[in-house]
Amino acid sequence: MEPAERALTYTALAESTRRLVGLMDGKAGFLFAVNGALLTFMWIGARLGDVVPFAQWLALGASLGSLLALLAALWVVIPRRSTALPGAEQNFRPISFYGYVATHYAATEFRRFEHDVAQFDADEFAREALAEHFMISRIVKNKTAWVTVSGALTFCSMALAGIALLVKTIFA
């Protein structure tokens, strides 16, 4: 594999990583903002603390769901450092994973890192690209699951907040 082909391969892999992981991080950020706004609206804007007890309980349920949705969204954007690949043998070097590079090479060892990478043949680069795709797929799957949880909790929280506002309007 020519150096130019290597550069194109890594550029394409990095771009796909940014798109897939970044998409889930963006959705989590949106859900985080929506839940923050919902909590602020319920307790400051709509003053659901100053209403009949049934509406307060609905507002508390919405708040609990919203807080759980905030935590689920936050879990999506917390960085992971694991480089463990199921079934990978001991001599496997996942050089595209920052956790592996940062733990196996000191800040002053760029030349050693460069030398180690230069020793890779075309098959090792192909295997590295496949391993990166595998790890990214796992990361995206996990992030998608937590975004789904956060989205469902947000939907439930908004529904409960809407019912609390309706009760407040009826009994006001």
Q: What is the per-residue pLDDT across 80-89, written as a single tens digit (0 to 9) for each? A: 766 565 555 6
Residue 11 reports pLDDT greater than 90: no
Q: What is the per-residue pLDDT across 110-136, written as a single tens digit (0 to 9) for each? A: 999 999 999 887 777 777 777 777 788
- Residue 131 carries which side chain, given as an amino acid letter? A
Separation CA 14–CA 19 (nearest Å)? 9
Structure tokens at 23: 């998409």
The answer to whether 153 and 69 are in contact (CB under 8 A) is yes
Separation CA 65–CA 160 (nearest Å)? 9
Separation CA 67–CA 85 (nearest Å)? 33
Separation CA 46–CA 166 (nearest Å)? 11
